[in-house]
Structure 1
Amino acid sequence: MTDVDRQIERSSELLHRLSPQAQRLAHRARQRKRAFFIKKIGRVIMAGGAILIASVIFGLAVGPIGSSGFLVALGLFIAAALLLLIYPQYPEASTETLVNTDLKYLPAQTEVWLSSQRKALPAPAANQLDQIGLRLETLGPQLQTLDPREPAAQEVRKILTEHLPDLVNGYKRVPETLRRERQSNGQTPDQQLTEGLKLIDEEIAEMTRNIAAGDLDSLATQGKFLELKYRDPEGMRD
């Protein structure tokens, strides 16, 4: 790696750290993890309450549980607490989990997946990825009442579970040594990725406007959001 390459890498890392969108998305990710952990604590408290109530009922119906009964109840509480704290684990989003995610939760899960991908991308593409994440903040509430059987809902699902992951994963399959080399189309894979993400960002923005306006027919018939080379991960190798 030359000095120029090292400088570019350091600059990219700096942009990753300073991006306001990235900081906002990271903050939202921390909030989700914190909420998930708080729910776990709540389940532990409920389990402890249930064991305490069962012990009281047993004591009233049968007789005092005594020290041995107390130890049994304590052991049950510890076992339940450990089990509830370990399982379920925080769900990490992947392309497979996105496909199976309910529509109303899809934007949030996509946002989680985006956060896990940005470190593998060049700075301009990572910043574009952050912009898409912010778009999903607006799209998420709109999907809460959208019928999953609507053609518009199917279009949303196709973009978030197929085209966006295909674009990012296709880029990641390109060897790092080739990512800054111009291809036959005159662009580098880095540039193709950034342009593809920009098109997806624009399409999500258009979706948001159409859903807000109730123009679901227009949303369902849009077919312009990606050119063929961006839909085809192998197109980056041309």
Structure 2
Amino acid sequence: MIDSQQLMIKAEELLHRMSPEGRERARRARERKAARAKRLFKRMFWGALTVVAATMLWAGIVGPIGMGGVLLAAIALVLVFAGVLIFSSEAPVAPEQLRDVDLTRLPQQTERWLEGQRPALPAPAQRLTDQIGVRLEALMPQLQGLDPQEPAAQEVRRLVADELPELVRGYQRVPQSLRRQTSGGTSPDRQLVDGLTLVDEELKRMCEQLASGDLDKLATQGRYLQLKYKGDPLG
């Protein structure tokens, strides 16, 4: 018998993939994949070129390399390719690392971390994380000329590197069996969605004020996440 709950989850996922947020998320994922493939190709190309140049130099100075030399060159190529693949792999982003990330790279790194948390979140929260990813992408170029010591920059870092990760991690600390249970008129699932909605609104406000150059307003009128969990584990 088909589990009706699983069927609803799959239907929600299908609808989400067809939504503007889902298509935008897929576009960003394709771009990241293409950029990574391009970096790998360039590193492999220069590594192979180095091995070939070294082989030709040896042959020109010492003499013919013979079959043994060809075999060594082939082994060197394999080692170069393996080394590029190993050392080019991206390690998972830990939320503690976000506090020390350079301001201009903070949105991208936060989006990478959030992408890793997405599968464990309920469907409404997944849609919000995709929308937050769009906001973070828009925020990235606006931070290029911002002094990291300015109050406006600290406001951005507080929201992106502290409050957003703590909100998601607080939800993850709640046992799965309790996440949908309602207490005091709300549930951990609902609290997560409400918190992510507030983060999304804050990011939108920040993008608008950075675009207008109103840094003083950004620094002095930031709203802190006022999430009241009434003593449950999510708080």
Q: What band does the TM-score fall into relative to the shorter chain? A: 0.7 to 0.9
Q: For 2:43 and 2:206, how far apart are their aligned partners in 1?
A: 38
Secondary structure in 1 matching 2:228:
helix
Deviation of 1:11 (Å): 4.3
Q: For 1:51 and 1:150, how far apart are their aligned partners in 2?
A: 48
Q: 1:63 to 1:125 in 2, by over 3 A?
A: same
Return the TM-score normalized by structure 2: 0.86
Q: 1:203 to 1:66 in 2, by over 3 A?
A: same
User: Partner residue of 1:140?
Assistant: 140
**Residues 25 and 115 of structure 1 are in contact (CA less than 8 Å); yes or no, is this contact kept in structure 2?**
no
Q: For 2:29 and 2:99, how far apart are their aligned partners in 1?
A: 20
Give 1:104's aligned amino acid: T
Q: For 2:100 and 2:15, how far apart are their aligned partners in 1?
A: 33
User: Partner residue of 1:214?
Assistant: 213
Map 1:197-208; keep pairs closer than 5 Å. Answer: 197-208=196-207
**Residues 15 and 123 of structure 1 are in contact (CA less than 8 Å); yes or no, is this contact kept in structure 2?**
no
Report the RMSD for the aligned CA atoms in angstroms.
2.5
Any unmatched runs of 5+ in structure 1?
A: none
- Asked whether 1:188 is paired with 2:195, we answer no
User: Partner residue of 1:169?
Assistant: 169
Deviation of 1:235 (Å): 5.4
User: Partner residue of 1:88?
Assistant: 88
Q: For 1:144 and 1:237, how far apart are their aligned partners in 2?
A: 35
**Residues 195 and 225 of structure 2 are in contact (CA less than 8 Å); yes or no, is this contact kept in structure 1?**
yes
Return the TM-score normalized by structure 1: 0.85
**Residues 170 and 234 of structure 2 are in contact (CA less than 8 Å); yes or no, is this contact kept in structure 1?**
no
Give 1:59's aligned amino acid: A
Give 2:179's aligned amino acid: R
Deviation of 1:139 (Å): 0.5
Which has the larger displacement, 15-24 or 27-36?
A: 15-24
Deviation of 1:237 (Å): 4.7
Q: 1:60 to 1:7 in 2, by over 3 A?
A: closer
Q: For 1:10 and 1:217, how far apart are their aligned partners in 2?
A: 45
Map 1:57-96; keep pairs closer than 5 Å. Answer: 57-96=57-96
Cα deviation, 1:110-140, whole Å, max 9, x if unaligned, reads: 2222222222222222212211111112101
Q: How many residues align?
A: 234
Deviation of 1:167 (Å): 0.7
Secondary structure in 1 matching 2:146:
coil
Deviation of 1:197 (Å): 1.0
Secondary structure in 2 matching 1:229:
coil
Cα deviation, 1:186-234, whole Å, max 9, x if unaligned, reads: 222222111111111111111111111212122122342411427x9x6
Give 1:105's aligned amino acid: R
**Residues 183 and 237 of structure 1 are in contact (CA less than 8 Å); yes or no, is this contact kept in structure 2?**
no
